[in-house]
Amino acid sequence: MSENEEKIITHTLPGMMELLPSEQIEFDRMKGIIEETYRKYGFVPIDTPAIERAEVLDAKAGGETEKQIYKFNKGDTEMALRFDLTVPLARYVAEHENDLVFPFRRYHIGKSYRGESPQKGRFREFYQCDIDIIGREKLGLSNDAEIIAAINDVFTALNIGAHKVRVSNRKLLAGLAEASGISDKTAEVSRVIDRLEKTGEAKVKEDLVAVGLSDAAIGDVMRFASVKGSAGEVISSLRGLGIDNPLFEQGVSELESLANDLGAYGVPESNFAIDCSIVRGLDYYTGTVYETILTDHPEFGSVCGGGRYENLVSKFSNRAFPGVGVSIGLTRLFSQLLSAGIVKPGAASTAKVLVVPITENMRAVLELGAYLRSQGIAVQIYTEEAKMDKKMSYADKLSIPFAVIVGDDEINEGKYALKDLGTGEQKKLSKEEIVKKIG
């Protein structure tokens, strides 16, 4: 292709996050913390193909999501890119049931795809970092707290400011609806009270009238959704509502048990709250539901959500696999943290030291670099022909913390000039001393 021919557009597609190295290193560091914490809780990795049979995804998607699925054909098979990591987990459990040990605790950190109309904070390719605990036929309630304990550890380790896990239980509203004779309207009522924080009490009441609730039912719902306080206070307030319904009572007991377990796990009370207005969009949740906010940045919205479901894999298996899990939307979170300046791009190199030759004796230079690497130090060797200035400014631009300058005198002496590029301090050291100093 000649110089005058038109070159191809190189912009990434809209809605795709592509980072510069200094940002990518930071992203990978955060991803590493999440993975390490998940492993500390004994979750095992899985890594399913990003491409599934289209019918596998269609089975669970429905509505808006279904329209957003990227589909394509190759030969006879209709294929699609996964839109989350939950459906692939369901398929995985159904397929490998006999090779898995239950409760099955898996983490999955991978990319999902949705053809959304790109707008601020919405991505078409995005990382999700999921954990789920899946039982066969049954799964104990303590697992609901275990998930929060892990998430609390993750957000503490990420060191991006205070966080709060907000918890509710789907059985509360379902039970309340039964007691008030509005079970047929549970979904609509859920959607309305989900907006309580945003729209305020007056608007919610108005919307509940529009849904067709009686004054008495509206009173019940509003009293329920407005319960506030510490976990202990919320639980007694809920009991004090006088709602006589077994499902509601079960929901309260489950929340009480969850709060007790969180105490045992050492999750600080400031890091979680029971909030009855939490609903979560996905229909398959049946018990505990979570979302997590960064306390100082409520405008980020929920950075991590999940909950308990009665059966993960009903579309694929005749057996019941109850589970509980949570997902961190890392791509969106990272993009928000970067915009808000909470996370800052750092070095643009993984190297701790740049070896800078001012000699023709490249053999000695390469040997020194190889030695430092053999001692576990991340090293970059500047082998290009260039003036000294340019070599040092290379280290500077990449924010490599140290440079080792290697000239003929240094080689003969066996002592090299180690320069701290932060302080400008320079010392002559043997290769062993360099390792001791920066290793």
Query: Does the protein bind a second copy through residue 138 (CB under 8 A)?
Result: yes
Which residue's CB is nearer to a second copy, number 133 or number 213?
Answer: 133
The phi, psi pair for 55, rounded to 5°, reads -65, -30
> Which residues does residue 307 pair with via DSSP β-bridges, in sequence order?
289, 325
Q: Among 147, 144, 127, which residue's Cα sits nearest to residue 258?
A: 144
Query: Does the protein bind a second copy through residue 24 (CB under 8 A)?
Result: yes
Length of the chain in terms of residues written = 439
**What's the closest the beta carbon of residue 22 comes to a second copy, in angstroms?**
8
**What's the closest the beta carbon of residue 245 comes to a second copy, in angstroms?**
26
> Which residues does residue 231 pair with via DSSP β-bridges, in sequence order?
none
Binds a second copy (CB under 8 A): choice among 52, 254, 256, 291? 52
Binds a second copy (CB under 8 A): choice among 376, 389, 422, 425? 376
170 to 209: interface string for a second copy, x by CB under 8 A:
----------------------------------------
Q: Among 148, 124, 180, 145, which residue's Cα sits nearest to residue 331?
A: 124
Strand, coil or helix: 265: coil
Binds a second copy (CB under 8 A): choice among 165, 324, 398, 403? 398
Assess contact for 272 and 148: CB atoms under 8 A: yes
Which residue's CB is nearer to a second copy, number 26 or number 207?
Answer: 26
84 to 123: interface string for a second copy, x by CB under 8 A:
-------xx-xxx--xxx-x-xx----x-x-x--------
> Which residues does residue 74 pair with via DSSP β-bridges, in sequence order?
77
**What's the closest the beta carbon of residue 37 comes to a second copy, in angstroms?**
9
DSSP code of residue 75: T
Rounded distance between C-alpha atoms, residue 357 and residue 394, angstroms:
13
Question: Binders of a second copy among 25-44, rule CB under 8 A?
Answer: 25, 27-28, 39-44
Assess contact for 361 and 383: CB atoms under 8 A: no
Q: Which stretch binds a second copy (CB under 8 A): 132-140, 206-214, 289-297, 334-342?
A: 132-140
Question: Binders of a second copy among 58-87, rule CB under 8 A?
Answer: 59, 70-72, 74, 77, 79
Strand, coil or helix: 315: coil
- Name 72's Cβ contacts closer than 8 Å, sequence gap at least 6: 78, 79, 80
Pairing of strands 44-45, 104-113: parallel
327 to 366: interface string for a second copy, x by CB under 8 A:
---------------------xxxx--x-------xxxxx
Binds a second copy (CB under 8 A): choice among 33, 48, 284, 433? 48
Pairing of strands 285-294, 163-169: antiparallel
Count of chain residues binding a second copy (CB under 8 A): 108
Which residue's CB is nearer to a second copy, number 376 or number 422?
Answer: 376
Assess contact for 217 and 181: CB atoms under 8 A: yes
Query: Does the protein bind a second copy through residue 388 (CB under 8 A)?
Result: no
CA distances from 21 to 9, 18, 143, 346 (A): 21, 10, 38, 9
**What's the closest the beta carbon of residue 300 comes to a second copy, in angstroms?**
22
Query: Does the protein bind a second copy through residue 412 (CB under 8 A)?
Result: no
Sign of the dihedral through C-alpha 40, 43, 48, 53: negative
Rounded distance between C-alpha atoms, residue 180 and residue 425, angstroms:
75
Binds a second copy (CB under 8 A): choice among 183, 245, 302, 317? 317
Assess contact for 23 and 345: CB atoms under 8 A: yes
Q: Which stretch binds a second copy (CB under 8 A): 183-191, 244-252, 285-293, 391-399?
A: 391-399
Query: Does the protein bind a second copy through residue 397 (CB under 8 A)?
Result: yes
Strand, coil or helix: 165: strand
Which residue's CB is nearer to a second copy, number 208 or number 381?
Answer: 381
Question: Binders of a second copy among 246-265, rule CB under 8 A?
Answer: 260-261, 263-265
Binds a second copy (CB under 8 A): choice among 33, 121, 135, 297? 135
